[in-house]
Amino acid sequence: MSETTILQGSPVFDFSGVRLCLDFANTLADRLEERPREHLNSYRDLVTWGLQASILTDNEAKLLLEEAARRPGDAEKTFEHAITVREAIFRIFLAIAGDASPDEADLTLLNSVLAEVMGHARIMPEGDHFMWDWASKDGKLDSVLWAAVRSAADVLTSDEIHAVRVCAADDCHWLFLDTSKNHSRRWCDMKTCGNRSKVRRHYERKKQPAQ
């Protein structure tokens, strides 16, 4: 099963959040609309996201999909768990972006999942230095979540926490890390939300009667 086969018919995900945990939270679009747009609709979509996020190699994605085919019930439970974790991550960082305290239940859930995830973490040699890696990844249906959960913990425990923002568009609510030089980034993506806002302001100005 090639990458092309895996990606066929699957959504193309956005990675403008700068950090993996925020990109994961952004897999639900138009959150404030009556009908938000869900980009993760199956375990296969979750694997596709991991592949596009470079969390998974082609071979790892292939093995996970084969395992999911053998254990469809477990794959569905893993998928539902992933959505639960995603929503907790979203609420935590949305609160932080609004200078509020995250809900204790969301932090408890994240800590519980983090404890499980870090049981798979290993420090591995890489050339003349060391790096974080994962052990026993093959066939573990939830392995696609590990890096996103670790990313959330890394952001929460670093100075980057002060640069978490929520898109200024009224109908978006996507999260991103503001790495701009003067910390003035307002939009998840200038080409989408930023451009729509510019068009809207232009239209409103044109509607105003001439003085």
- Find out whether 14 and 22 touch, Cβ atoms under 8 Å: no
Tell me which of 76-85, 127-136, 179-188 is least confident.
Answer: 179-188
84 neighbors 109 (Cβ within 8 angstroms): yes
* Euclidean distance between CA atoms 186 and 54, whole angstroms: 26
Would you kindly state where each structural domain of the chain is located, as residue ranges? 3-207
Q: Longest Cα pair distance anywhere in the chain, in angstroms?
A: 70
Q: What is the pLDDT of residues 81-95, one digit of tens each?
A: 999 999 999 999 999
Cα dihedral: 29, 51, 12, 45 (round 10): -60
The total of other beta-carbon atoms located within 10 Å of residue 29's CB is 18
pLDDT attached to residue 150: 96
133 versus 105: which is more confidently predicted? 105
Q: Which amino acid is at 88?
A: A
Q: Which amino acid is at 183?
A: H
Look at residue 205 and tell me whether its pLDDT is greater than 70.
Answer: no
pLDDT of residue 183 exceeding 80, the answer is no
What fold, for 3-207? Jann2411-like fold (1.10.3300)
Q: What percentage of residues in the chain have a pLDDT greater than 90?
A: 64
- Selection from 84, 44, 34 nearest residue 64 by Cα: 44
Alpha-carbon span 69 to 119, nearest angstrom: 26
pLDDT at 131 over 50: yes
Residue 208: what pLDDT? 56
Residue 202: its pLDDT value, please? Answer: 37
Q: Which of 15-19, 27-31, 183-187 has the lowest mean pLDDT?
A: 183-187
Q: Which tens digit of pLDDT belongs to each residue from 24-54?
A: 999 998 888 888 899 999 999 999 999 999 9
pTM of the full predicted structure?
0.85
Structural element, H or E, at residue 27: none
Quick one: pLDDT band at residue 210, thresholds 50, 70, 90? low
The pLDDT assigned to 27 comes to 96
- The confidence score (pLDDT) of residue 6 equals 58
